[in-house]
Amino acid sequence: MSEKTWNGRFAQKTDRMVEAFTASIDFDRRLYPYDIQGSIAHCRMLARCAIISDEEAAALIEGLGKIKQELDQGHFVFDEALEDIHMHIETRLVEQVGKVGLKLHTARSRNDQVALDMRMFLRDAVGQGIDGLKQLRTALVELAEKHLDVIMPGYTHLQRAQPVLLAHHFMAYFEMFTRDAERLTDSLKRINVMPLGTAALAGTTYPIDRSYTAELLDFPAVSHNSMDAVSDRDFIVEYLAAAALCMVHLSRLAEELILWSTAEFRFVELPDAFATGSSIMPQKKNPDVPELVRGKTGRVFGNLMAMLSLLKSLPLSYNRDMQEDKVVLFDTVDTLQACVAIFSRMLPEVVINRDVMGDAAQTGFLNATDLADYLVAGGMPFRSAHHCVGQAVAFAMKNGKELHELSLEELQSFSKDIRKDVFEILAPKAMVERRKSAGGTATENVIAEIAQAKKELGV
């Protein structure tokens, strides 16, 4: 059984079951690059402040470099009794460089050490997330530009409502994922605060230079309150919330792809490389990728709730409960990155059945609002026009027709203000092109939207 750093206080050795129960090495080992980077910066600072000698710092830094090489190459031996990655690295360092390795922990605690590692890890994860969302947004813009002439039904309540450009629909998701990228970018303000040097909770008596450590680790800010620094996990909650909202958007897109690929819609066909078959039904082509994205969304929601529940009753400052923050954070980072990446790969390969979409835009009375607007333009109050067109829709339904399939005489039976030019405005293309209000689905608007998006993306 490994010797504990706190053995001086305890009369009994730690029970093996306690060692297994409290160990976090199975999941926090992925923090090793950040732990070593932070330790090297800490050594440099200690030497600069004459707390350790330059020679001691050099030996420690060289030893840490060798340990990182062992970890990188998969040669490092883990021991559950050492609990976490921090103690593994410190113990191995003493083996490498001798007693000078015991000086590594001067002027710091595992409390501020793990807070630093988590911030550095999440800083990188957020950067990767922003890059992934850029690829996804680029794929959406390219899809929109490629299918600029495709008209489809727009829906409310999952009922056909008004015709829109498919490109306009895709660009709606571009807006969602842009907000997600903005939220991640903004979260860096709270993540990029350096906690190292606050020690266990009260600060340290050593004459350290925290600003120098922050400079070495590229942190623009240093924490103001030592108790808050070691107990703050708000930055993790904020990331989990942003990730959960991003997963909402991915799940909405997934749901539409699932619906659109059914025989009932037939709007799209998913690429074979991103679908699976059935073990019993030879004809099946299942949308497993979007289904799994939809399913994983609930998992990310659960991680957010787990983290909020973890923190809600913790007194200041650090509590061991916080060890559980890594499980939910790592899982969310991995899940979000995987979902964004696979959608970025899949979307360019989706086949759009433009004729099916176009035909669908011709049925379901999608031109009812335009007929009402036509009557309003002739001087009829909108509410009266709404009632008039509603009667026309009921008549058309009874006779198995669409509004544009009614004769002029049939339409005029509901209003004498209707003239033969009405049929020009009831065509889907005309309806789309008249919606030129800012943010509307008119082609010129969408072209401008795509151009602005490409400018933002730098493509």
Whole-prediction pTM: 0.94
Give 358-364's long-range contacts (Cβ < 8 A, gap of 24+). 358/150, 358/151, 358/152, 358/428, 360/152, 360/153, 360/160, 360/267, 361/151, 361/152, 361/153, 361/163, 361/428, 362/402, 362/404, 362/428, 363/160, 363/402, 364/153, 364/159, 364/160
Task: Decide which of 233 and 26 is more confident.
Answer: 233
Fold of 111-199+225-355: Fumarase C; Chain A, domain 2 (1.20.200)
Query: What is the DSSP pairing of strand 221-222 with strand 193-194?
Result: parallel
Amino acid (1-letter code) at residue 314: L
Q: In this predicted structure, what is the pLDDT of residue 1?
A: 38
Q: For the chain, how long is the longest CA-to-CA vector?
A: 100
Binned at pLDDT 50, 70 and 90, residue 243 comes out as: very high
Set 75, 157, 279, 313: catalytic member: 157
Q: What count of other Cβ atoms lies within 10 Å of the Cβ of residue 233?
A: 17
- Sketch the domain layout of the chain as residue ranges: 16-106, 111-199+225-355, 360-454
Residue position matching structure tokens 């010129």: 444
The stretch 233-251 carries a mean pLDDT of: 98
Amino acid at 365: F
Phi first, then psi, for residue 15 (nearest 5°) are: -60, 140
User: Does the annotation count 157 as an active-site position?
Assistant: yes
Q: How far apart are the first and last CA of the chain?
A: 58
Is the confidence at residue 198, as pLDDT, over 70?
yes
169 annotated active-site: no
Q: Whole-angstrom Cα distance, residue 14 to residue 2?
A: 10
Q: Which neighbouring-strand residues pair with 156?
A: 159
Asked if 133 and 126 count as a contact pair (C-beta separation under 8 A), the reply is no
d(CA 338, CA 335): 5
What is the fold, at CATH topology level, of the domain defined by 16-106?
Answer: Fumarase C; Chain B, domain 1 (1.10.275)
Q: What mean pLDDT is predicted for residues 63-91? A: 95
pLDDT (0 to 100) of residue 402: 95
CB 221 within 8 A of CB 313: no
CATH 1.20.140.10 fits 360-454, yes or no: no
In what helix (H) or strand (E) does residue 162 lie, and over which residues does it extend? strand 159-165
- Catalytic pick from 211, 224, 278, 387? 278
Q: What digits encode the pLDDT tens for the residues 265-315?
A: 999 999 999 999 989 999 999 999 999 999 999 999 999 999 999 999 999
The region that residue 26 occupies, defined by phi over 0 for left and psi between -120 and 50 for alpha, beta otherwise, is alpha
